[in-house]
Structure 1
Amino acid sequence: MTYENLSTPEGTSSGVVFIVHPQVTKGARAETRDHAQGRLQEATGLAEAINLTVVGSRMLNVKSIRANLFLGEGQVDDLKGEIKDLNASLVLMDAHISPIQQRNLEKAWNVKVIDRSELILEIFGERARTAEGRLQVELAALSHQRSRLVRAWTHLERQRGGFGFMGGPGESQIELDRRIIDDRIVKIKKELESVIRTRKLHRKARDRVPYPIVALVGYTNAGKSTLFNRMTHSEVLAKDMLFATLDPTMRRVDLPSGREIILSDTVGFISDLPTSLIAAFRATLEEVLEADLILHVRDISHPYTDQQAGDVMKILGDLGLKNVENSHLIEVLNKTDLLDPEDQKALVNASHRTEYPQKVVLSALTGEGILDLLQKIEDFFLNQEQEVEIHLKYEDGATLAWLYQNGAILNREEGEEGITLKVKLSPLIKARFEKQI
């Protein structure tokens, strides 16, 4: 059976899952109690996002990670009875575990065990809609699977899932060897190279259109798609669930002055996003790297919003955007409709202070604050503009019309040989104008 046949339609994943979040208390992977609780809550949301039934969860203190089990032997034995009593057919280890740890835990608990990476990949496998999205997820899944070929499946029961990480024996058992996986990886990479070339052509085509690109980024379920729909008056899928959007969407938006921009909605980020997935989605995430302005959308009502913001900025840094918060990024504090009125007022007052010049408070759901965001975007591009003096001949009417359409005319003088203009142009428009001239 080939790898691409392992996927199933949305909503077909099933199973009873028990979630274990190991809170590492020492070393480089150490985390606070609050962060661990947030991660456990998030893991529950991830499992429910793929229609798994969560029957129980445990957060365990781990002073040092065991090479063979990740957890301590006493902890593993203690969980065995609880997992059995709850009739769990699947255990989610909310961490990145090695193939050996995974196999040993399966033997100890006699159930299928998946880790955080595999669950996220499984969700992505079900949610990707475009051919490009499915190729990117499959590439990440195959890269992950390649290191986990030698595993004991015989005692496990089959469950359905988007890319086979939740699979067991029987007709859907993963029966791939490294040669088959490697051949498929090579084929996918070639197809994605074609996609990347097409994207570059699209970018060149957009270079001929004087519209700056504004990209929405943020933690998954922060409300990016709802904001996108509100700003563009479109109907992109926007649901209160993790990873509702995987495939990028672009629409044109009018700013208050009539100036136009292109708004791009992108995949949501999450803490400990698998590195293979970041690599596979690099072609898509390049839209963020190429953007003239980034809107970092935050769910300000979430109890761990600061941690989520930190995770997003880390991923942006990993992509190559260094010190982005000090340059071309506006922080959008969304979901204020879920806050108490006093908290809303305090947040708005704080955003108006001079130390928060790049923050906007709004509710994408109700529309409150959207005009403030549009004006903030407008101000950003106005502040980037440069004043230039241009001399045109009278017969060069097309260039004159283009300048009126894409710049701000400050002064116009007509002489014997032609027209002299003082114009404010954004760096993007100025570069395109100079290229055309």
Structure 2
Amino acid sequence: MEYAKLKLSEEKVFKDPVHRYVHVRDQVIWDLIGTKEFQRLRRIRQLGTTFLTFHGAEHSRFSHSLGVYEIVRRITDDVFKNRPNWNGKDRLLSLCAALLHDLGHGPFSHSFEKVFGMDHEEFTKQIILGKTEVNEVLRRVGRNFPKKVAEVIAKTSENKLVVSLISSQLDADRMDYLLRDAYYTGVSYGHFDIERLLRVMRPHEDQAVFKYSGMHAVEDYIMSRYQMYWQVYFHPVTRSAEVILTKILQRAKALYDASYDFKHEPRHFRSLFEDHLSLEDYLKMDEHVMLYYIEVWQEEDDSILRDLCSRFVNRNLFKYVEFDPAKEFKVHSRLEKLFQEAGIDPNYYLVIDSSSDLPYDFYRPGEEGERLPINLLMRNGDLKELSRESDIVDAISGKRRTDHKLYFPLDLIKDETEYGEKKREIAALLKLSQNPEI
């Protein structure tokens, strides 16, 4: 029998706390899950450093990827089946793209990418098209099938309807991570009626749309998403941990470039630091590896690397104050000078972090590319953009919210055994006495 159509002799299921069960009937999907590249996702957390804020947030990219696959399976096998505008031949392509969409994520993905200027989507493409077990499985479907899957994930495929299932303003990826992240962080913000959303979803030419009768379920999703970004994804404590992790990586690279003699040589980072990272080396990087180095670097002679690693391991994070860099640049310049004079390196211990720099956003209709608006299918068959029909969504559409914070080590500033006068001036500029939360 043709491999693409081959079914398992008995359906496999994964017990899942969000979707109850993840069903696998296709041999292709089962074989992809068993590849070493996909299994690596068990060792990559879905929410990076968020576990230091919400202790339950230990879930992995593996479980999220299975969840996205399950949502797309339900769409293709139940919701879209035999409907106009849907080609059943696109089913396996949709399932594979859903399962593999996060394949290239690195350890603590966004911090890792920020420091080294990397793109997980590029590594996803390399894994799918390179000499990997995943590629071997996909090539058994067809010689060009890996390319088709990679194009859907990269949003360059001509099949825009399939792309919209994986990447759009309301897609399977976002549906799963909102529900999954809400479950594991223990918050109520991310919950919405996914059953209703799927019931009103329809295939339409180049994107999935939603029946007008289900508009309130779409509104619920949009507001859940908005709240999750500000209450969970942009949480200042999580951002503090990200700042420290970023500075650890920056310090380790700076020391490597300066030929520092590490007690624990960063062997796994060597090709990364030397800017010739191969796919083979990248796939060896996971959070177990990174956390090992952060643990052992607490023993290094370099005081900055040692201290930053100790802070991360023991959750002695930086404190923060609200800070607008555009309006308070003179204050920041003065703080940098005072930090230097007080023996605290501002390059590592005085950090402005802006939430708008992070790769999350809330719904803004009318933009091109990935920001194609959510369309409602009216009773007469016309399409109308969501915010034109929904007062709730209209109220938040196009309103970009930014948030800036200044992070610093409060314990070093309060320790006045050295440079007491300088540190008191730092405390005054940071207005620590006026901030009861610090």
> What TM-score do the two structures reach when normalised by structure 1?
0.25
Greater share of strand residues, 1 or 2? 1
Which one has a larger percent helix, Structure 1 or Structure 2?
A: 2
What TM-score do you get using the length of structure 2 for normalisation?
A: 0.25
Q: RCO greater where, 1 or 2, for CA within 8 Å and sep 6 or more?
A: 2
